[in-house]
Amino acid sequence: MTAIDVLLADITALDVDVVVNAANADLAGGGGVDGAIHRAAGPTVLAECREVIARRGRLSAGEVEPTGAGDLPARWVFHAVGPIWGTADPEVQDRQLADCYRRSISLAAELGASSVAFPNISTGVYAYPRERAAHVAVEAVLAATRDSAIERIVFACFDQENLDLTRSAWEELR
């Protein structure tokens, strides 16, 4: 069974195999958790992101691409593009957000990772309603880890509100 932790934490400092980045469609770095991950990881991650974009073009909401982790303690960074709230039907956006979590867990298992840390994808400048996002995230992680070899999931919340909402969703849905 996968252990799940919900923490108020700096995702860039966690000792996990995979750090999931709340990325933009161009994998260009930015603000919030995306900027923090790129700053902490150093220039090699951005260089790998540019190679991904040159090879395949912009990513769509729900897609995930791996890179190395640069200077982070992790082995990989998975760049997950969450939906921008209000740009599509809410149910479509729920599926796109859930895909960020499901695809990250599936890819982590394929690569032999045993631990994954997630930020609160799309709840910052992408304005996804935080309570709704917490439920989508926890449901997706619980479903994706039922038969998974992933040993540990960390929800690395960046503020008290996301921490409280994610813990509440975890307590309700587990």
Which of 17, 34, 94, 99 is catalytic? The answer is 34
What distance in Å separates the CA atoms of residue 20 and residue 148, rounded to the nearest whole number? 17
159 in catalytic set: no
Residue 58 identity (one-letter amino acid): R
What distance in Å separates the CA atoms of residue 38 and residue 19, rounded to the nearest whole number? 11
Q: Take residue 35 and report the two structure tokens written for it.
A: 């900027």
Q: What are phi and psi of 84, to 5 degrees?
A: -90, 115
What distance in Å separates the CA atoms of residue 10 and residue 14, rounded to the nearest whole number? 7
Residue 98 identity (one-letter amino acid): A
What distance in Å separates the CA atoms of residue 61 and residue 138, rounded to the nearest whole number? 18
List the beta strands (DSSP E) in the chain.
3-8, 18-23, 64-68, 76-81, 115-118, 152-157
Catalytic residue IDs:
34
